[in-house]
């Protein structure tokens, strides 16, 4: 649903240029397994696409976990952090994109943070080390998170050359992201498979 | 090889002991070496395990610390927000708290914070790959020093970097590990980058050997020997968890064997010392033992040598073992030899009858005395030759046992009378005395006088009083002779002189005696020549028969017509002939010659021959007589054999048997010189003589001493009673003849009728005295 919200403005933009194709990016791990929760962002012609109005986003704290694990938001979005647990949480992020700290708020309390710079914002809870989530603040309209099949779909992509960035929290690459250029046809759908190497996720309770 | 048993024994024992000790020492050394090496090996394995455990503990400790730090919110904030100053100060804080040398941060982008040394920074940056691969601990070289590296990721909340704690494993740190071990091991950690050699935090000359050892043994994990410059060591190499790929790490634990054996050094020294002391004791002991064993043997050896040289030896018996018994046997043997030697010497040098020195001993002693006298010069020496006057008679009449007894008594008396002079028995009744004094000449005379007086005293032997009587001849040295033989000869001559003078006296040797002896020798030589040369001639003295008043027989008397001395009387040569044994051929000649002449005489005229006792003692007298009779054809009845009483001095049954055999042949037997002997009458009992010839001494004294007449009368009466004829010898005047006729004497002989005549004169004598024969 949120993906749709992102796509909508893109469709609106796509009306102006006559030629626009679709792109399906398939992210797979080394063993061929689909990689969900990867954020795929497209820069047609290498440039960010103008964003639509920022919606409302939330990352809930439930059962001592953030949900969702990865959230994609456009610049200027506000993300609320509702606490559904019986314990308090201390959500923080040291990310250069947005550094904040939501000190010890209890159940049914909601804090909200405004994100106005692009970048990855890792979220953690200072009380519960195992709680981790990522917010990708994007500066382009074409941004999507891979689903359970590791797939992200884009439609009506203007231009023929698209810079594709793939980010995943455990992606084994500098900045945890890959970039590749993809040719998008004027009509029809292009499929781009992206193999990635993933680090093993830190085990719960371990030193990592 | 060794001439002494003790040396052999000592060397043998010492050698055996040293060998045994050496074997023990070798065995001990082997055991010690094996034990200590095994201990060292065990300890090395244990130490390596301890090291692992320590490393593990340290890993956990550091890991905990790093984990804590990495989760510290402020620290995370500092690292995540790019505030290295704060982060490094937090690290320093923790370093001080944990006593860490090195702590740094490796960012996700490879940036290293917290290290100033560029080499360390480079090595730290190289850790990124391993850290990124998830390794959190291991060994890695940091600035050339093997270090124990422990890392913890910094989650903010995503991984932004690692906190890395590093503990260098250089000599100082390893020294702490070494102290934990029970034995003073030497431990070091080595690292090797791919394409490089093993390096450690320290440098030593053995690095090359160690590196090759580690290469060879790292997969093994068991201790092995490592040859170092300072000696052999037992070493163990085992791999350690390396931090980086392409970088190996190893733990090497060494223990020098010399040090492993060092604790046993006192034991070895003690063993060596006790061995040395033991060896000395064994040498000393075996030396003493062998001495105690061989000393008696040496003593025996020495004693045997001395015995060989003629000494009388006795070995001291010190023990009761075999050697002691050997010594006892040796002593018994030596004693036996000495005893036998003594007996042999006694037999050789002593007269067994009297116990006095014998002739051999005397000769030796005399030689010695003469030599001494010669050396001393003036000292005089007298040789007294003593001979008993009556011994022969005593021996003949009383038997040898009494004679022997008498000799013993004489020996005792001589020894008692001469003081310190030496008395020896030369044989028979002949004794000799050596008198060695300054005034030997005077002393010899005195001693001789004293001896003669002493021996004149009667001896009481076997209940009888015997008178020995002695004559002594004396020779002085060096005047009478320089050597023993001459002296003895001269003393003998002097004795002969004394004897010749009737005995019971002593004579000093004089040179004339020698001359006499020489003339005697000459006479003897002449006598021998005379027997062969026919210088003898028979004279015949008629025996006038008083009953028939005619010559009834002739006594054949020998005369010697000496070529230069003229006619020699029988008295002068018959004793010499008897002494020399020449009497036998002479007597034989007389018998033959007498028979040869007598056979020409009228049948009623007999011939009488004197036969010496010497002739009777030699065998064959009967044969000589028989041959003479057979050769001449003379009737045995016409042959009369005259014997003297002296023949009975050695009377024996053999003699009587010879007399009887002559009688059986028909020969008449007459007893000559009757009345001069000691027991004349007893002789008449022993043989039935045909005739008794009364000694001329009775006839000559008949008219002057009345006793003589009575004796002659008694003899004639006795003879008549015994059926024997009588002849009176030495009748020189008619008064004697008249008296003899009165007493009934059978016949007379003497100068009154006729001196001995030559064979040719016999017939004239017969014609003159037997006119009736012519008438008849």
The three-state secondary structure class of B163 is: strand
Q: With a cut of 70, say whether residue B711 has pLDDT above it.
A: yes
| A94:B155 CB<8 A | no
| A129:B157 CB<8 A | yes
Distance CA B324, CA B316 (A): 9
The pLDDT of residue B678 is: 67
Which of the listed ranges A84-98, B593-607, B613-627 does the model predict with the highest average pLDDT? B593-607
Look up tokens 């006095």; give the residue. B356
Question: Directed axis angle between helix B706-722 and helix B734-743, to 10°?
Answer: 40
User: Long-range pairs for B270-273 at CB < 8 Å and ≥24 separation?
Assistant: B271/B24, B271/B25, B271/B28, B272/B25
Distance CA B40, CA A186 (A): 81
DSSP H/E element including B90: helix B84-98
The pLDDT of residue A37 is: 92
Structure tokens at B5: 């048993």
For residue B231, what are the contacts with CB-CB under 8 A and spacing of at least 6? B256, B257, B258
Residue pair B263/B33 in contact (Cβ under 8 Å)? The answer is no
Distance CA B728, CA B698 (A): 9
The pLDDT of residue B776 is: 33
Give the Cβ contact number of residue B249 at 10 Å.
24
| A208:B153 CB<8 A | yes
For residue B415, what are the contacts with CB-CB under 8 A and spacing of at least 6? B356, B423
Q: Report DSSP letters for B508-568, one per residue.
A: E--HHHHHHHHHHHHHHHHHHHHHHHT-EEEEEEEEEETTTTEEEEEEEEEEEEETTTEEE
DSSP H/E element including B221: none
Look up tokens 């009176």; give the residue. B728
| A99:B81 CB<8 A | yes
**Min Cα–Cα distance to chain A from B110, Å:** 10
CA distances from A5 to A72, A145, B154, B393 (A): 11, 12, 35, 196
Identify which of A99, A129, A132 has the shortest CB distance to residue B71: A129
Q: Dump pLDDT digits (tens) for B144-169.
A: 888 889 998 888 888 888 999 888 88
Q: Cα angle at B657 between B654 and B663, to 5 degrees?
A: 150
How many H helices and E strands in chain B?
27, 27
Residue of A nearest to B64 (CA): A207
Residue pair B307/B334 in contact (Cβ under 8 Å)? The answer is yes
Q: Cα angle at B228 between B226 and B229, to 5 degrees?
A: 165
Q: With a cut of 90, say whether residue B269 has pLDDT above it.
A: no
Number of A–B residue contacts, CB under 8 Å: 47
Look up tokens 């008395």; give the residue. B423
Instruction: Provide, as residue numbers in chain B, all residues whose Cβ is less than 8 Å from the Cβ of A169.
Output: 158
| B81:A94 CB<8 A | yes
Instruction: Provide, as residue numbers in chain B, all residues whose Cβ is less than 8 Å from the Cβ of A96.
Output: 81-82
E strands of chain A, at which residues? 20-29, 39-44, 56-58, 60-62, 65-67, 70-74, 77-82, 89-94, 99-105, 110-115, 119-125, 132-138, 143-145, 151-158, 161-167, 177-183, 189-196
| A202:B159 CB<8 A | yes
φ/ψ of B109, rounded to 5, equals -85, 5
The pLDDT of residue A5 is: 42
The pLDDT of residue B253 is: 87
Count of alpha carbons within 13 angstroms of residue B326, beta-carbon side: 14
The pLDDT of residue B557 is: 92
The pLDDT of residue A9 is: 44
Distance CA B42, CA B49 (A): 11
CA distances from B411 to B445, B468, B474 (A): 19, 12, 18
The pLDDT of residue A136 is: 92
Distance CA A55, CA B181 (A): 70
Q: What is the mean pLDDT of chain B?
A: 85
Residue of A nearest to B153 (CA): A208
Identify which of A94, A129, A131 has the shortest CB distance to residue B77: A94
The pLDDT of residue B556 is: 93
B35 vs B641: which has the higher pLDDT: B641
Q: With a cut of 90, say whether residue B64 has pLDDT above it.
A: no
Question: N- to C-terminal Cα distance for chain B?
Answer: 117
Count of alpha carbons within 13 angstroms of residue B723, beta-carbon side: 4
The pLDDT of residue B378 is: 58
**Min Cα–Cα distance to chain B from A81, Å:** 17
Q: Tell me the percentage of chain B whose pLDDT exceeds 70.
A: 97
Q: With a cut of 60, say whether residue B704 has pLDDT above it.
A: yes
Q: Dump pLDDT digits (tens) for B109-139.
A: 888 888 888 888 888 888 988 888 888 889 9
Give the Cβ contact number of residue B734 at 10 Å.
9
The pLDDT of residue B377 is: 67
Distance CA B56, CA B47 (A): 14
Query: What's the pLDDT band for B629 if we cut at 50, 70, 90?
Result: very high
Identify which of B73, B132, B153 has the shortest CB distance to residue A207: B153
Structure tokens at B329: 């046997």
**Min Cα–Cα distance to chain A from B135, Å:** 11
The three-state secondary structure class of B213 is: helix
Mutate to test the interface with B, among A59, A94, A132 (most CBs of B within 10 A): A94
Residue pair B386/B432 in contact (Cβ under 8 Å)? The answer is yes
| B63:A131 CB<8 A | no
Of B296, B280, B474, B484, nearest to B385 by C-alpha is B474
A91–B contact, CB cutoff 8 A: no
The pLDDT of residue B459 is: 87
For residue B85, what are the contacts with CB-CB under 8 A and spacing of at least 6? none
Count of alpha carbons within 13 angstroms of residue B53, beta-carbon side: 9
| B157:A124 CB<8 A | yes
| A208:B109 CB<8 A | no
The pLDDT of residue A12 is: 43
The pLDDT of residue B587 is: 92
Q: Indicate if ipTM > 0.90.
A: no
Q: Find the mean pLDDT for residues B64-88.
A: 83
Q: Find the mean pLDDT for residues B188-216.
A: 83
Q: Tell me the percentage of chain B whose pLDDT exceeds 90.
A: 13
A18–B contact, CB cutoff 8 A: no
The three-state secondary structure class of A199 is: coil
Residue of B nearest to A129 (CA): B157
For residue B691, what are the contacts with CB-CB under 8 A and spacing of at least 6? B640, B668, B669, B670, B671, B724, B725, B726, B727, B746
**Min Cα–Cα distance to chain B from A158, Å:** 35
Identify which of A99, A122, A200 has the shortest CB distance to residue B157: A122
Residue pair B223/B165 in contact (Cβ under 8 Å)? The answer is no
Mutate to test the interface with A, among B66, B109, B157, B163 (most CBs of A within 10 A): B157
A129–B contact, CB cutoff 8 A: yes
Give the Cβ contact number of residue B365 at 10 Å.
17
Q: With a cut of 60, say whether residue B1 has pLDDT above it.
A: no
CA distances from B475 to A68, B432, B438, B490 (A): 175, 11, 15, 6
Give the Cβ contact number of residue B80 at 10 Å.
25
Query: What's the pLDDT band for B773 if we cut at 50, 70, 90?
Result: very low
**Min Cα–Cα distance to chain B from A100, Å:** 11
Q: With a cut of 70, say whether residue B258 has pLDDT above it.
A: yes
Could you report the average pLDDT of every consecutive run of 10 residues in chain A (208 residues)? 42 50 90 91 84 82 91 90 88 87 79 88 87 91 91 86 90 86 85 88 53
Question: N- to C-terminal Cα distance for chain A?
Answer: 33
């Amino acid at each position: 649903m949120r993906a749709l919200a992102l796509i909508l403005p893109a469709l609106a933009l796509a009306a102006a240029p006559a030629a626009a194709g679709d792109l399906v990016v398939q992210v797979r791990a080394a063993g061929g397994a689909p990689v969900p929760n990867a954020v795929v962002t497209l820069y047609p012609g290498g440039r960010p696409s103008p964003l639509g109005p920022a919606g409302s986003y939330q990352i809930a704290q439930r059962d001592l976990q953030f949900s969702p694990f990865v959230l994609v938001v456009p610049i200027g979005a506000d993300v609320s952090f509702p606490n559904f647990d019986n314990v308090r949480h201390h959500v923080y992020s040291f990310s250069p994109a947005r550094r904040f700290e939501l000190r010890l708020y209890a159940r049914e309390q909601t804090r909200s943070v405004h994100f106005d710079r692009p970048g990855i914002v890792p979220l953690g809870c200072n009380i519960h080390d195992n709680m981790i989530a990522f917010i990708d603040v994007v500066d382009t309209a074409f941004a999507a998170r891979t689903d359970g099949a590791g797939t992200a779909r884009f439609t009506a992509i203007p231009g023929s050359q698209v810079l594709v960035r793939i980010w995943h929290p455990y992606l084994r690459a500098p900045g945890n992201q890959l970039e590749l250029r993809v040719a998008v046809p004027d009509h029809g759908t292009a499929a781009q498979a992206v193999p990635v190497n993933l680090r093993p996720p830190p085990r719960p309770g371990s030193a990592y | 090889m060794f001439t002494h048993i003790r040396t052999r024994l000592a060397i043998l024992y010492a050698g055996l002991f040293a060998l045994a000790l050496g074997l023990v020492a070798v065995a001990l050394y082997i055991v010690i070496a094996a034990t200590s090496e095994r201990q060292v090996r065990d300890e090395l394995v244990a130490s390596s395990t301890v090291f692992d455990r320590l490393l593990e503990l340290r890993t956990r400790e550091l890991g905990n610390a790093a984990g804590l730090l990495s989760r510290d919110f402020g620290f995370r904030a500092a690292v995540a927000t790019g505030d290295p100053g704060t982060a490094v100060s937090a690290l320093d804080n923790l370093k001080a708290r944990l006593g860490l040398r090195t702590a740094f941060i490796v960012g996700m982008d490879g940036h290293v914070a917290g290290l100033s040394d560029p080499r360390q920074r480079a090595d730290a940056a190289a850790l990124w790959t391993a850290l990124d691969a998830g390794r959190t601990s291991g060994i890695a070289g940091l600035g050339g020093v093997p270090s124990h590296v422990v890392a913890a990721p910094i989650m903010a909340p995503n991984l932004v970097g690692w906190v890395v704690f590093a503990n260098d494993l250089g000599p100082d740190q390893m020294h702490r590990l070494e102290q934990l071990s029970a034995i003073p091991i030497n431990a070091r950690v080595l690292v090797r980058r791919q394409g490089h050699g093993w390096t450690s935090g320290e440098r030593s000359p053995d690095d090359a050997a160690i590196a090759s050892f580690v290469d060879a043994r790292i997969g093994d994990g068991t201790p092995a020997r490592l040859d170092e410059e300072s000696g052999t060591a037992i070493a163990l190499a085992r791999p350690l968890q390396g931090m980086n790929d392409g970088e190996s790490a190893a733990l090497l634990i060494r223990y020098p064997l010399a040090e492993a054996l060092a604790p046993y050094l006192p034991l070895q020294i003690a063993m060596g010392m006790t061995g040395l002391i033991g060896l000395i004791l064994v040498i000393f002991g075996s030396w003493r033992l062998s001495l105690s064993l061989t000393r008696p043997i040496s003593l025996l050896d020495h004693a045997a040598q001395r015995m060989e040289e003629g000494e009388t030896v006795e070995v001291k018996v010190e023990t009761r073992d075999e050697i002691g018994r050997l010594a006892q046997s040796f002593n018994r043997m030596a004693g036996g030899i000495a005893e036998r030697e003594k007996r042999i010497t006694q037999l050789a040098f002593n007269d067994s009858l009297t116990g006095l020195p014998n002739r051999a001993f005397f000769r030796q002693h005399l030689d010695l005395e003469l030599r001494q006298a010669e050396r001393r010069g003036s000292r005089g020496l007298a040789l007294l030759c003593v001979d008993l006057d009556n011994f022969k008679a005593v021996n003949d009449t009383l038997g040898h046992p009494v004679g022997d007894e008498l000799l013993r008594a004489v020996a005792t008396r001589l020894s008692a009378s001469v003081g310190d002079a030496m008395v020896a028995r030369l044989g028979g009744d002949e004794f000799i005395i050596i008198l060695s004094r300054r005034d030997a000449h005077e002393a010899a005379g005195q001693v001789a006088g004293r001896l003669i007086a002493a021996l004149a005293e009667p001896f009481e032997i076997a209940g009888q009083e015997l008178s020995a009587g002695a004559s002594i001849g004396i020779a002085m040295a060096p005047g009478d002779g320089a050597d023993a033989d001459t002296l003895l000869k001269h003393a003998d001559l002097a004795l002969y002189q004394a004897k010749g003078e009737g005995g019971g006296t002593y004579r000093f040797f004089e040179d004339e005696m020698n001359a006499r002896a020489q003339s005697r020798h000459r006479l003897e030589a002449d006598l021998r020549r005379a027997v062969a040369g026919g210088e003898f001639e028979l004279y015949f003295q008629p025996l006038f028969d008083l009953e028939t008043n005619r010559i009834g027989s002739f006594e054949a008397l020998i005369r010697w017509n000496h070529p230069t001395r003229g006619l020699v009387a029988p008295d002068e040569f018959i004793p010499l002939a008897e002494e020399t044994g020449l009497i036998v051929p002479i007597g034989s000649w007389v018998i033959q010659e007498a028979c040869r002449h007598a056979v020409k005489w009228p049948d009623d005229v007999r011939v009488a021959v004197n036969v010496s006792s010497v002739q009777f003692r030699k065998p064959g007298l009967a044969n000589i007589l028989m041959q003479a009779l057979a050769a001449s054809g003379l009737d045995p009845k016409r042959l009369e054999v005259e014997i003297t009483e002296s023949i009975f001095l050695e009377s024996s049954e053999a003699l009587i048997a010879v007399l009887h055999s002559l009688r059986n042949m028909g020969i008449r037997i007459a007893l000559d010189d009757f009345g001069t002997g000691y027991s004349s009458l007893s002789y008449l009992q022993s043989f039935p003589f045909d005739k008794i010839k009364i000694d001329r001494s009775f006839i000559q004294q008949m008219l002057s001493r009345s006793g003589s007449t009575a004796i002659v009368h008694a003899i004639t009466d006795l003879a008549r009673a015994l059926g024997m004829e009588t002849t009176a010898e030495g009748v020189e005047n008619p008064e004697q003849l008249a008296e003899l006729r009165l007493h009934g004497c059978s016949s007379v002989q003497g100068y009154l009728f006729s001196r001995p005549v030559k064979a040719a004169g016999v017939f004239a004598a017969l014609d003159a005295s037997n006119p009736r024969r012519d008438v008849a």
